[in-house]
Amino acid sequence: MAALQRRIGPARFAWVFLVPNLVIFGAFTYLPIALNLVYATTGGLAVLPGERSFVGLENFASLLDCKNYLDPSSCSKDLFWRALFNTARFVALQVGFMILFALITALVLDRKIRGRGFFRGVFFYPVLLSPVVVALVWRWILQREGVLNAWLVAMGGEPVLWLMDAGWSFFWVVFVSIWAHMGFYTLILLAGLQAIPKDVYEAAEMDAASPWRVLTRITLPLLMPTMLVVIVLALIKGVQTFDEIYVLTGGGPGSATMLIVQYIYETGFAAQPRLYGLAAAASLLLAGLLMILTLLQLRLNRKSYRG
């Protein structure tokens, strides 16, 4: 090695270490990105890029072709818009409630309660599970012959088709997703809470602040930088949701719980004919959305460090 370094010089020697990583990163990240651009601007059903005809922005135009953007059925690719609307609704509900519950949980676990370590473990545990395992466990609970219905019948009630009803299945999709990810955000918020100096609370105690005033005027404002990071992280992860829901409901009933990633997957790989161009265009639109959210997170992060 030393001999090689002497022969080719330290600057070139650096490449010896960088090349393996560059090759792997190039093959599995940059090349697919480039290919995705190629597919997004070509049409036809051929798999090999060389056999596909250039169509410019036709795939994007077709995805964005709507008479009324608020009504998916007026769009030529109505499923794309339904998936988009589902994603928006899912993300709004999932992120909103998850952060609310995570905050409440973190506030409770921040106190000196009995068995605090145990409860912290309990709330974090689902984060360690594979998303497919999470979905399978809950499908087992929610299916027609599942645990929940068995319990309902035992209590003298009627079984409910939890995953066959559009409203219920959307509820459960949000619920399961919150259950699976809440622990992670609870942990971050807990760290944020514990970073608030104890003497500020003592000063508030001397200042006769009621518990409610302490929460709203001291704790929450001081937690805000952490909160913003958590919100953006959860938004990004929420938009990317796929595996849990795909295994739990398969996007059904109908397209009631189909989110944007699942639409891309099905359009490109599962449905016949395989519309690679359309899927690639949709994934680029999604990438644009995620990019905006990531930039937002970076900015907030920098701001909170400065603060």
Partner 1 sequence: MATLELDRVVKRYGSLEVIHGVDLEVPSGAFCVFVGPSGCGKSTLLRMIAGLETVSEGEIRIDGVRVNEVPAARRGLAMVFQSYALYPHMTVRQNLAFGLENLRTPKAEIARRVAEAARMLRIEELLERKPRQLSGGQRQRVAIGRAVVREPEIFLFDEPLSNLDAELRVQMRIELKALHGRLGNTMIYVTHDQVEAMTMADLIVVLSKGRIEQAGPPLELYHRPANLFVAGFLGSPKMNFLPVRPAEGGVRLEDGTLLPLPGTALGFAPLTLGIRPERLLLEGAGPGSIEGTVRLAERLGAETYLHLDTGAGALTVRTGGEAAARPGERVPVRLPGEACHLFGPDGRVIRCAPRG
Q: How far is the CB of 210 from partner 1 (least distance, A)?
A: 7
At residue 281, the 3 state secondary structure works out as helix
What single-letter amino acid sits at 38? Answer: V
> Which of residues 38 and 228 has its CB atom nearest to partner 1 in the complex?
228
Tokens representing residue 62 in the block: 């077709």
| Residue that has been written with the tokens 């990019």 in this structure | 291
> Is 2 an interacting residue with respect to partner 1 (CB under 8 A)?
no
Sequence-distant (≥ 6) Cβ neighbours of residue 233 within 8 angstroms: 185, 188, 297
Tokens representing residue 1 in the block: 């090695």
- Can you tell me which of 206, 211, 272, 273 binds partner 1, judged by CB under 8 A? 206
Cα–Cα distance for residue pair 279/274, rounded to 1 Å: 9
> Which of residues 65 and 202 has its CB atom nearest to partner 1 in the complex?
202
> x-or-dash pattern for partner 1, window 211-240, by CB under 8 A?
--x---xx--xx-x----------------
> Is 203 an interacting residue with respect to partner 1 (CB under 8 A)?
yes
Cα–Cα distance for residue pair 173/179, rounded to 1 Å: 10
> Is 304 an interacting residue with respect to partner 1 (CB under 8 A)?
no
> Is 199 an interacting residue with respect to partner 1 (CB under 8 A)?
yes
Q: How far is the CB of 215 from partner 1 (least distance, A)?
A: 13
Q: How far is the CB of 54 from partner 1 (least distance, A)?
A: 55
Contact 277, 54 (CB under 8 A): no
| Residue that has been written with the tokens 């409910």 in this structure | 160
Q: How far is the CB of 191 from partner 1 (least distance, A)?
A: 18
Applying CB under 8 A, which residues contact partner 1?
197, 199-200, 202-210, 213, 217-218, 221-222, 224
